[in-house]
Chain A
Amino acid sequence: GDSVTQTEGLVTLTEGLPVMLNCTYQTIYSNPFLFWYVQHLNESPRLLLKSFTDNKRTEHQGFHATLHKSSSSFHLQKSSAQLSDSALYYCALSSNNRIFFGDGTQLVVKP
């Protein structure tokens, strides 16, 4: 069945360093939509960015991700982490009118 894998449960890094959160997916559908949702403390999850197009970089609020269908990946990156980036990040897959989430990666950015 459809699934999303986020290998890191917790990522801790120092402000100013690059961020990379891993996401791979599994689906039988050839045209999935992939999303990154972010949840800050005491808030509900909200969309960060999404993509449908193979090998095209998508950017929003300093973050970017590229859907690679060949490797079934949609890793989230940012060149320089900020303290305010500390949050829980979910990768999600949309297929057959359903949206499936990964377990989430908690990003902690320290001064």
Chain B
Amino acid sequence: DTTVKQNPRYKLARVGKPVNLICSQTMNHDTMYWYQKKPNQAPKLLLFYYDKILNREADTFEKFQSSRPNNSFCSLYIGSAGLEYSAMYLCASSAGTGSGNTLYFGEGSRLIVV
């Protein structure tokens, strides 16, 4: 089973309100990633967990938080949503962080901020 599941699939949020997106995988992968995808743009890496170690990208460091309570689950938290957060959020997992590891993606969580 190579399934990565994301919840919710769709989220409508008000400006200034928090948003929490959930991802789970059953492949016992030690690395989980969150990407932000906007139309006609490349998926942008926000952060990733290798085991319990969180790595956040420098330019999104303060905008997104994450937790990984166990190997299977990873969340993405936005404390105060702004209009610019409207996007598709893709979760992915891989076995390790070695350069050649394949990413397995979930179906995405579409966030619309109004």
- A 21-35 binary contact with B (CB < 8 Å = 1; else 0): 000000000011101
Binds A, one of B14-22, B77-85, B94-102: B94-102
Q: With A44-B90, A44-B108 known to touch, is A99 a contact of B103 (CB < 8 Å)?
A: yes
**Residues of B contacting A9 in the complex (Cβ-Cβ under 8 angstroms):** 40
Binds B, one of A46-54, A68-76, A79-87: A46-54
Task: Name the interface size band of chain A.
Answer: 20 to 34
**Residues of A contacting B35 in the complex (Cβ-Cβ under 8 angstroms):** 101
Cα of A45 to Cα of B99 in the assembled complex, Å = 18
- B 1-12 binary contact with A (CB < 8 Å = 1; else 0): 000100000000
Cα of A103 to Cα of B42 in the assembled complex, Å = 4
State whether the Cβ of B27 lies closer than 8 Å to any Cβ in chain A: no
Asked whether A50 lies within 8 Å of B102 as measured between CB atoms, the reply is yes
**Residues of B contacting A89 in the complex (Cβ-Cβ under 8 angstroms):** none
State whether the Cβ of A94 lies closer than 8 Å to any Cβ in chain B: yes
Asked whether B99 lies within 8 Å of A100 as measured between CB atoms, the reply is no
**Residues of A contacting B50 in the complex (Cβ-Cβ under 8 angstroms):** 97
Closest 4 CB pairs of A and B: A44-B105, A97-B97, A33-B99, A101-B42
| Interfacial residues, chain A to chain B (CB-CB below 8 A) | 4, 9, 31-33, 35, 37, 43-47, 50, 52, 90, 94-95, 97-104
Known contacts A90-B43, A100-B45; 16 additional CB pairs below 8 A are: A32-B99, A35-B102, A43-B107, A44-B90, A44-B108, A45-B43, A45-B90, A45-B103, A45-B105, A46-B104, A46-B105, A47-B102, A52-B100, A97-B97, A101-B43, A103-B41
